[in-house]
Amino acid sequence: MTSRARTDAWLVVGGQAVATVGDSMLLVLLPLLVLDLTGSPLQVSLVFVLTQLPTFLGFLAGWPRRRFGPRTLLVAYDAGRAALVLAMAGALALS
């Protein structure tokens, strides 16, 4: 393995590690935020179910995987998650 390939591999691993930590924090903190804002256990359970929805729909990921490369998929997936988190933050700021 060349030095360039090793560096690229570590960048991918490091990026995924940061994304995993962020996902774990979001999984814990988002329901707590909803509970603090609404006080409704029903809305907390709805938020928890919606955060787990991509896991349940993972079987649909086959067709983009066949059409696009792994790098493109990782970038698109992370950009989509960032947009959703920013939208949630904007909605929270407006409320």
- Tens digit of pLDDT for each residue in 74-89? 888 888 888 888 888 8
Residue type, 59: F
Q: Write out pLDDT tens, residues 33-82.
A: 889 988 999 989 888 888 888 778 777 878 888 899 888 988 888 888 88
Which of the 8 DSSP states describes residue 57? T
Q: Write out pLDDT tens, residues 4-15.
A: 777 888 888 898
pTM exceeds cut of 0.75: no
| Angle made by CA atoms 61, 75, 12, in degrees to the nearest 5 | 100
pLDDT at 1: 64
